[in-house]
Amino acid sequence: MSTRICAAFLGASFLMAPAALAQSVGDPVPDTFICTLVNGPVSATYEANRAANEADGRVLHTYSRIFNGFALRVSDKAIDTLVERNPTITGCSQAVYVGLPDAGAAARGAPKPDGGGGKPDKGGGGGGKPGGSGGSDQTVPWGVARVGTGTPNGNVAWVVDTGVDVDNPDLNLVGSAEFLTAETFGGNANSVDDLNGHGTHVAGTIAAIDNTIGVVGVAPGAPVYSVRVLDSLGVAPDSDVAAGLDFVAANASAGDVVNLSLTADQGSTILDAGVQALADGGVFVVMAAGNSGVNVDTGSVSPAYNNGPNLFTVSSIDKRSNLASFSNYGASVDYAEPGVRILSLAPGGGTTNKDGTSMAAPHLSGILLVTGGSVGADGQVKRDKDGTAEDVGVLP
């Protein structure tokens, strides 16, 4: 398994893989397959190594918590023969690229929500907004002011994203891991650090410390564990993301919160299995609805269309509670949260604004880290496109 787990100060870099730039989110990953195994006492590690030897392939990941199986780098022809000859393999499917909402377009240079709202403000956040706490250089972002802040309950925020700035003084980062293979747009497969900015921004909204710098989060100072599954452009195979979810499932406790501000616009059965396994284990999973302006249910937006206990899908609103023009919607959406011009942390210090359902989801994650499961309401979303306006989730 391509895994590196280390203390929060570790950082590195890796060159971009130019050949991958021709791919888009939703495209199949060349020669990369995810295989599931029969139920029972079957070792994923043993079977993965055996399969790799038989098919002249390479093991990328093994999975034991969200399902029993492995990811393999192997040719199309070899995978068909492998499945036919190995009775312990129930099936293999080709991995697909997933990423930040609209990450595929962002990789091609188009400005999109979640891509940021200007250059980072290295000065901190400046001045403080009405109702702010702490010193004059700390700001309470409008979204946090809307949903409220509270004392975290001790559970961990697992930020499954582009990584989190390992040196940020405004976060209580308790650990980092990465699960990237090299089959990505932006490479950087050997670093736990955030080379994009998205994951750091998400973590700040959830849990930025109430001090004299930066911003304050909904659950200030809550422990954050960074699980880097997306590259510097916010893209990766779903096999990598699943490896990160498998790691969380092996290490999280009931009541912890997983924030998933990423999507697979054509659906991903492996992500669906991952979030369901986490939820079944008592972990809260908060998912961004996506930024394509479509119905998550009819548009096959994974994992946002998943429903059930401990699963939460979040759409985006502006300051007037209007559904953001880019936000996905649908019956699977549970709450609407602030997601337009959201100020939060930037790698290297300072703050920056970003838009997107990726920015909305961490507000709900913070709420759950304070309450342990209950969510209050402050009105409902306006101009909802499906006619079933969700509550704006706040601290009770």
Among 102, 114, 193, 198, the one annotated catalytic = 198
Position 174, amino acid: V
> Reading across the β-sheet that carries 335-338, which strands appear in turn?
4-6, 173-178, 224-228, 157-161, 257-260, 284-288, 311-317, 335-338, 391-394, 376-380
- Give start and end residues of each alpha helix (H) in the chain: 44-55, 76-85, 103-107, 142-147, 198-207, 238-251, 269-280, 357-371
Is position 358 annotated as part of the catalytic site?
Answer: yes
Active site includes 76? no
- With CA atoms as reference, report the closest residue to 374 among 396, 392, 389, 342: 396
Kindly list the strands in the beta sheet with 28-37, ordered across the sheet, starting from the edge strand earlier in the chain: 58-63, 69-73, 28-37, 89-99, 235-237
* Residue 381 CB burial class (10 angstroms; 0-12, 13-18, ≥19): buried
191, 226, 302, 358: which one is catalytic? 358
- DSSP track, 290-314: -SSSSBTTTTT-BTTT--STTEEEE
The yes-or-no answer on residue 198 being catalytic is yes
Length of the chain in terms of residues written: 396
Query: 5-25 as b/e, with b when 16 or more CB fall inside 10 Å?
Result: eeebeebeebeebeebeebbb
Among 61, 102, 114, 161, the one annotated catalytic:
161
Active site members: 161, 198, 358
